[in-house]
Amino acid sequence: MRREHARVFTGMRESAGRVYWTAFVGLLFDYYDLYLFVYLDRVLAAAFEMSDTQRDWSQFIGLAGVGFGSLFFGYLADRLGRRRMLIVVFAVYLVGIAGLALSWSTGSLLFFRLAASMALGGEWGISHTYMAENLGRKRRYLFSAFLQFSILGGLLAWGMKEYALPAVGWRGLFALSLIPVAILSALRYRSLNLAGEGRRNTGSFIRVLVRSRRAFMTCFLLAALSIASGTVNIFVAKELPQSPVFTILFWVNVVPGMLVGAYVVARMGVRRALVFYGVLLAGLSLFALGADWEYKQYAFALSLPLLNGIPFGLMGAFFNEMFGQYRTALSGAAYNLGRILGGFAPVLVTALALHREGNYYLFSLALGGTVVVVALSMRISNTMKGSRLDCQF
């Protein structure tokens, strides 16, 4: 890594609680929107009589919007200020959700989904960078792990689909989303100190990207591998009882996972924590492949969120420390593009015919091994030893 990547972050300028909640509310709706579209895919396809091609385009636009939005809004945040863009992305998201509720054709649905997805793509990088630059190093990783509790927005989306959708319909579901988003937008605007924006980037983005290509690829691969490992539970869940109790238990189990992840990273540092995670994921997969125990699928499904708390908890802070300039755009793009690639893991598993008879555990085994290789291949310069990859905090 180059010396410029190790640029020291500025000290905390705002209260930790205010910084955390400002970032949290945006990411909560990031995950809520992501999973709401997954749960409503068939409903929207039926409402607009979509063909299979149109459904594929809908999924593609959602993914492409997240990737493009992370670069577009991340770049603007680095150039114009992160606090201002935190407000802008929420405003764009508000417009997108309102448009979805009023969609009159497939084209309008896709357009407003693109707008909402772009805003959500920018949210991850801006929120994490805003928090990283306003917290000291020790609390930066801890709060980054806590920030991942926002994934419980997926549980909120499931609850809305199960209990609100039959009563208000899909348009009403999007309309109801406007109320908390509008309130939280107002609270976010009031909580941000726009006057203390700090240093902005003015150099060439392309030049910085070229210089940071190794760091970018490392972050991209870690994001893709972490997301891909989480998708393995899609196949496991199909073979388990589809009950509300199990669904809630699965989502709630994410919480101790993030706490475990924060503890492991604090004790081991980033690189050793990633190696530890990869070894445990491979070991869990081998257990699921070889054990003759009727409850092994339950054990795997509930243990995986615990393990994934390690990479998910550290990515926000770690990705930001990898870049000295344009860290909002680069960290956000690395994560969201990795999320897109990792999201195609179920397609790859099916194409390789690993989705039958528990063979998907072979896929998670390979993912664990790859994480170990990526972590061990991280290059540590003299300026980074003991301060970034193997930090104790």
Which residues in 362-375 are b (16+ Cβ under 10 Å) and which e? Answer: bbbbbbbebbbebb
Convert the pLDDT of each residue in 170-183 to its tens digit.
998 888 888 877 77
Instruction: Pick the range with the lowest mean pLDDT from 42-46, 243-247, 256-260, 331-335.
Output: 243-247
Is the Cβ–Cβ distance between 306 and 249 less than 8 Å? Answer: no
- State pTM to two decimals: 0.83
**pLDDT above 70: residue 197:** no
pLDDT of residue 274: 94
Q: What are phi and psi for residue 383, nearest 5 degrees?
A: -75, -15
Mean pLDDT score, 5-20: 59
If pLDDT is split at 50, 70 and 90, which confidence band does 279 have? very high
pLDDT of residue 390: 35
**pLDDT above 90: residue 231:** no
Mean pLDDT of the chain: 80
Convert the pLDDT of each residue in 65-108 to its tens digit.
888 999 999 999 888 887 788 888 888 888 888 998 899 998 89
Q: How many angstroms separate the CA atoms of 321 and 132, rounded?
A: 9
Convert the pLDDT of each residue in 117-155 to its tens digit.
898 888 888 888 888 877 777 788 888 888 878 878 888
Q: How many angstroms separate the CA atoms of 177 and 194, rounded?
A: 27
pLDDT of residue 199: 60
Handedness of CA 199, 202, 206, 212 (dihedral sign): negative
Domains of the chain in sequence order? 14-200 (1.20.1250.20), 207-393 (1.20.1250.20)
**pLDDT above 50: residue 206:** yes
Mean pLDDT score, 12-33: 76
**pLDDT above 90: residue 217:** yes
Q: How many angstroms separate the CA atoms of 387 and 9, rounded?
A: 12
Q: How many angstroms separate the CA atoms of 181 and 185, rounded?
A: 6
Q: How many angstroms separate the CA atoms of 246 and 233, rounded?
A: 13
